Each structure stands twice: as C-alpha cells, then as structure tokens.
Amino acid sequence: MPRSSSACCRRPTRRLAPRRREYRVRAFRLASDRVLIRGAVRDQKPPGLYLPEDPEPLTIHHMLVDLEVSYPSMEIMAANVHMETHPNLECTRIEPHYGKLVGLSISRGFTHRVRELFGGPRACTHTTALLQAMAPVAIQCLWSMRASDARKPGGADSGVPMERSDMWQMNLNTCHVWAEDSDVVAKYAAGGTFDPPEFARERMVALGMSLNDESNSRVSIAAGSGTLSDDMVVIAQ
C-alpha cells in the first residue's frame, strides 16, 4: 500500500528551534555470541544563545553508553557510561550507578527495569532516555546477526543456533503488528514462512531481482521480523 506524505515529515519553514537533541545508536559484532551496542545523546543550543559573540552551536549535554550484550540471550554482560559534556560537576558521580545494568535482559521488560533503577532522581535523565532508545536497536541487531549468519557456509543454521519459533516470539506484543491476536502472529504460529520485509522487497525490485526467486530465500529466513537495521539516528528539536 503506497505511503502518503505526512505533514510531520516535511521540512519545517520556521526558524531553528532553541534546542536540538540527537540520539545515535550503533551496533558492532564483537564475536559470534556478543555484540556492542554504542549509544550517544547530544543536546545543542544554537549559536549566540548563551554568548552573543559565539558563532558555533553550543553542546550542553553529550552522554555516551557502551553495552556488551550476549547473543542470542540478549543479556547485558558489561556496561559503561561516560558523560562527555554536562552542566554540573556533580553529574559524573552517577556514572558507576549504571553498572546495575549488568545481568539485565535488554529485550523483554528492559524499559520497565530501566525506569525502576534509573528513573527520576535515581540517575541522569538524559542517559536514562538514551538507554531506552538503545534497546530497540539491540533487538534489531539480533536480526542483523541472523542475516550475517545466513551468508556463511551452512546458511542461517550456522553460528549461534536459534529456534525458528524464537525468531517471531521475541517480538510478541512489542507493537500492533506483533500483537498476539494479529494476523502476522497467527500466520507464524501456524508455521507460515517468513516473507521478505517491505524494505527488502522494494530494494529487490529496484535491483531487478525476482521476489519468487528461490535464491532469495535467505532474505526471508534472515530477516524474520523484517528489522535488519542496527543504526538509528533520531533528531528532536
């Protein structure tokens, strides 16, 4: 179904807002059973807001988080927080507190646990917001690793094993598409095959590839939920 244009996606005509926030999250494969999820959040004020003579944007927050995550269990094995830019000298005192992330699962229930451990006065609001942005990328990275394994000799069954049912059950009730009473879940619960995700289908068409070509079966197997991205940038103004 063609997507219609939305006013929320059009370039704004007003002047630059007095604050710009950017989240950047990337995933790196460290080993066959471990990934590094690296996140950063940065807030900037436009030139001249604090100092009229200043011609450059002024960074007021810049927090960095590294999480080493076990694959496919998605358990956090190591966590490191660094506050590159912060408004108060006391800000960095909370960095060691994020060591409590170790042992948590970054998949189901992670956002709730983060709020319990690091919400409000218990930690840094900006770092905690970054953690909540990192979790979806970690889950998406699972599918990226699955796609990488599919290209190795032996196909999708090489590397760290994963039950076929796990490939869709880990997404259960994470959004309306994966609601337990949705058509998508009913299809996979009944043993239906994974179809290439829409973005892959569009790229295959652009490359002149046949959607029914048997050689493209790995796209379906590796894609699973259709989420292969492990890099996300979100800018909020």
Residues 122-180: tens digit of each pLDDT: 999 999 999 999 988 888 877 777 766 666 666 544 444 445 556 667 777 778 888 88
pLDDT at 49 over 80: yes
pLDDT for the residue 220:
47
Comparing 75-79, 158-162, 173-177, 183-187, which segment has the lowest mean pLDDT?
Answer: 158-162
Q: Which of 120, 123, 141 is nearest to 70 (CA)?
A: 141
**Does residue 122 or residue 17 have the better pLDDT?**
122
d(CA 129, CA 234): 12
Task: Enumerate the β-bridge partners of residue 38.
Answer: 26, 66
d(CA 109, CA 89): 33
User: Averaged over 79-101, what is the pLDDT?
Assistant: 96
pLDDT for the residue 5:
52
What one-character-per-residue DSSP string does 87-139 give? SSGGGGGGGGGGGGGTT-BSSTTHHHHHHHHHSGGGS-HHHHHHHHHHHHHHH
SS3 at position 206:
helix
pLDDT for the residue 64:
97
Length of the chain: 237
User: Averaged over 73-89, what is the pLDDT?
Assistant: 95
Q: Which residues contact 63 (CB under 8 A, 6 or more apart)?
A: 40, 41, 42, 81, 82, 83, 84, 86, 124, 126, 127, 130
**Does residue 237 or residue 62 have the better pLDDT?**
62
d(CA 109, CA 169): 14
d(CA 85, CA 62): 5
d(CA 67, CA 78): 6
